Amino acid sequence: MKMIRYAILLFLSASLCLKGSAQSGKDRPNIVFVIGDDISIDDIGAYGNSHIRTPHIDGLAARGLRFNNMYVTSSSCSPSRVSILTGRYPHNTGAAELHAPVPAHLVYFPEQLKASGYYTALAGKWHEGPNTARAYDTILADKAANGEGGESQWEQLYLNRPKNKPFFFWLAAYDAHRDWSADHLFQNPYKPSDVRVPSTLTDDEATRRDLASYYNEISRLDESVGVLVRRLKEDGQLDNTIIVFIADNARPFPGSKTRVNDRGLKTPFIFSWPQKIRSAAVVDALVSSIDIAPTFLHLAGVQPAATIQGTDFTRLLKDPKAAFRNFIFGEHNWHDYEAYERSVRSKDFLYLFNGRPGFDNGGPIDANQSPAAYSLRNLKSSGSLTPLQADVFINPRPIEELYDLKTDSAQLINIASDPLHRKRVDQYRKILARWQKETGDTQPVQLTADWYDRKTGEALPQKGVRGEMPGASKHADRINVKSLF
């Protein structure tokens, strides 16, 4: 009975805030949210990578908005997705660590869409916990049916949807998560010579083969986006359908996934809506992934739940040159290995705090046991690593880091100990402390420990044992404070 009353209240709230043509259900925009798995911003053609084939994703950018400064809250799969789903920071979700289930008392934005009359469905990767099932009319999470890339049911989902409702699809590809499975699909798969090697990795044959397999998975995802776009166009649905492409975190390679700098948190974000966005534009404003939920809800004519900490960025759709956030906050909590890192980014500076400086950060197990990781280790033994390549091996790590983004876009030169920047460090330290206090972030003494050996990848005796979740002692999952703006 309580859930029925809740659904009725949501529906009435949504109905009251609909304006103009949005009062007619058929005029409310459809929303297709495509979320890639483990894809860096610089591995998409629209963001300048001429070595990769992503014509369909690039096509969305050519007809819509390309966000250059969208940041996920965590470069870790489920915490990042849960942040998007709830519009909250990881420690405010009660699921800050990998594979932790989301509490039932939180509101998930698709359930608000569902209560307001949308048909909501998820297809592909689903690991946010059983409570989130209530947000969807349909969940297609069977891995065999979804195919190796996770996209096999997207087209049928669209064709079999109720035709009398606007729809919201959360399309969660497995691409491009390890292990690789797309090398055999194309007539011309990527060759090692085709790829662009990031500066964090070594340029050798093994790494290039690793990257070529990664590229194949991204291109498989791109083809699935193309199939869906064609279907929408054929049915006359494309104009009034918002299509968003994003990735949950950075590529599954050392120096990217689980990092709280731009190499980990900055994500591709392309927003297409032909009916409203008639020419391509670039958005340079700072935007956080917690802002996606309130934006979708606003565009659907639904009042965001009080639990949502993000801020609606609709004004950027009308004025792509407008400013938005002053600060972006990021987290790195347990993902295979013990961790507690926080970051604050402005337009000009990036500040990092590391509460576990005694550990290195070579990435999660899928990254640090990869061929590319072994190549880095081999190069390390010869003493030939560049500073960016060597970064994953640093131990102990600095407790504080500060980067001047105007002069150091690669975030290579840590100026936190420079006396000339003492005031700047203090400024960002205070900003972080205020955000932590207001949102209930904590650094437990007994965090979840390593489940695997950092060098060999072998399981440790404590595998499966959880420590205290950040924010748990302050009941951060019950705190609804909006983030600093």
Q: What is the DSSP letter of 266?
A: E
Lowest-pLDDT range of 10-19, 42-51, 142-151: 10-19
Q: What is the pLDDT of residue 472?
A: 98
Q: Are 71 and 283 in contact (CB under 8 A)?
A: no
pLDDT band of 24, cuts 50, 70, 90: very low
Q: What is the pLDDT of residue 12?
A: 36
Mean pLDDT (whole number) for 432-449: 97
Q: Where are the beta strands (DSSP E) in 236-348?
A: 241-247, 266-272, 281-283, 287-288, 328-332, 341-345
Residue at token pair 């509460």:
355
Q: What is the pLDDT of residue 287?
A: 98
Q: What is the dihedral angle through the alpha carbons of 273, 277, 280, 285, rounded to the nearest 10 degrees?
A: -90
One-letter amino acid of 481: V
Mean pLDDT (whole number) for 253-259: 98
Asked whether the predicted pLDDT for residue 16 surpasses 50, the reply is no
pTM, two decimal places:
0.94
Q: What is the pLDDT of residue 185?
A: 84
pLDDT band of 3, cuts 50, 70, 90: very low
pLDDT band of 9, cuts 50, 70, 90: very low
pLDDT band of 7, cuts 50, 70, 90: very low
Residues 6+ apart with CB under 8 A from 416: 351, 398, 400, 401, 402, 425
- HSE, side-chain direction, 13 A CA sphere, residue 254: 27
H-assigned helices in 175-326: 205-234, 262-265, 292-299, 314-318
pLDDT band of 484, cuts 50, 70, 90: low
Mean pLDDT (whole number) for 293-321: 97
Asked whether the predicted pLDDT for residue 193 surpasses 80, the reply is yes
Per-residue model confidence as pLDDT tens digits over 346-397: 999 999 999 999 999 999 999 999 999 999 999 999 889 999 999 999 999 9
Asked whether the predicted pLDDT for residue 19 surpasses 50, the reply is no
Q: What is the pLDDT of residue 26?
A: 62
Asked whether the predicted pLDDT for residue 11 surpasses 90, the reply is no
| Percentage, residues of the chain above pLDDT 70 | 94
The domain segmentation of the chain, as residue ranges, is: 2-327, 329-478
How far apart are alpha carbons 320 and 314 in whole angstroms? 10
Choose between 26 and 290: higher pLDDT.
290
Q: What is the pLDDT of residue 423?
A: 98
One-letter amino acid of 175: D
The residue among 363, 434, 440, 365 whose CA lies nearest residue 94 is: 440
Q: What is the pLDDT of residue 373?
A: 98
Asked whether the predicted pLDDT for residue 238 surpasses 70, the reply is yes
pLDDT band of 296, cuts 50, 70, 90: very high
Asked whether the predicted pLDDT for residue 49 surpasses 80, the reply is yes
Q: What is the pLDDT of residue 482?
A: 87
Mean pLDDT (whole number) for 57-82: 98
Q: What is the pLDDT of residue 27?
A: 86
Mapping DSSP onto H, E and C, the string for 56-112 reads HHHHHHHCCEEEEEEECCECCHHHHHHHHHHCCCHHHCCCCCCCCCCCCCCCCHHHH
Mean pLDDT (whole number) for 187-215: 97
> Left, alpha or beta for 483 (phi > 0: left; psi -120 to 50: alpha)?
beta
Mean pLDDT (whole number) for 396-405: 98
CA angle (120, 122, 124) in 5-degree steps: 165
How far apart are alpha carbons 101 and 94 in whole angstroms? 8
Instruction: Give me the phi and psi of 231, to 5 degrees please.
Output: -60, -45
Q: What is the DSSP letter of 134?
A: G
Asked whether the predicted pLDDT for residue 339 surpasses 70, the reply is yes
One-letter amino acid of 89: Y
Q: What is the pLDDT of residue 14?
A: 37
Q: What is the pLDDT of residue 485?
A: 61
Asked whether the predicted pLDDT for residue 15 surpasses 80, the reply is no
Residues 6+ apart with CB under 8 A from 27: 21, 240
Asked whether the predicted pLDDT for residue 483 surpasses 70, the reply is no
pLDDT band of 167, cuts 50, 70, 90: very high
Q: Are 380 and 393 in contact (CB under 8 A)?
A: yes
Structural fold of domain 2-327: Alkaline Phosphatase, subunit A (3.40.720)
Asked whether the predicted pLDDT for residue 448 surpasses 70, the reply is yes
Rg (Cα) of the chain, in Å, rounded? 22
Residues 6+ apart with CB under 8 A from 254: 200, 201, 362, 363, 367, 368, 370, 372, 373, 376, 392
| Percentage, residues of the chain above pLDDT 90 | 92
Q: What is the pLDDT of residue 10?
A: 40
Cα separations in angstroms, 139 against 80, 121, 124, 142, 462: 20, 6, 8, 9, 33
